[in-house]
Amino acid sequence: MSYLSSESLGTYARGMSGATSVASAGSARVDVRLAKAVIEALRELPPRLAAVVARAIQRIGAEPGVSLRIQAPGNGGKPYMAMVPGDDAAPVVIYRELSPDEGGDYLVTGLGDREAYVAYESAEQQGFLDTPAGHALILLAVGAAVAIALRAAARGGVGAS
């Protein structure tokens, strides 16, 4: 596990081959792990956007994220969270709290499309997610998240999300 400053996380993610990082939350250390798919996605971003996303990852545990209506499987029903970078061109950081059995504090499971996140927020504010169609959409998203986690675990990524 590597300890990173906020300045070095973006550069580190572009060159790293491991799957974990540790972010700072004030003076306390917060263990924020990155799934292999997230590391790969960070490498593919332009350097400016990778740095913006890296700063958002550094905020996990130090600032509250946005709770999503998608529950993390096998983690006591705790929801997935989003950390929204300040740049509208940057993807949204999707993460979840790790269970005590998994070790660590948080796992970044993916980088979400900004337009899809804005659409999700709009649907939630309009009450669509409380309708039967909204529930079906949430179940579809949970299924997709589980499938991505299983695929990442099979490829040697960080544990099942």
Residues 47-72 have pLDDT tens digits of 999 999 999 999 999 999 988 877 76
**Predicted structure pTM score:** 0.68
Lowest mean pLDDT among 17-31, 68-82, 105-119: 17-31
Residues 41 and 45: their CA atoms lie apart, in Å, by: 7
Percentage of the chain beyond pLDDT 90 is 30
Burial class (CB within 10 angstroms; exposed 0-12, middle 13-18, buried 19+) of 36: middle
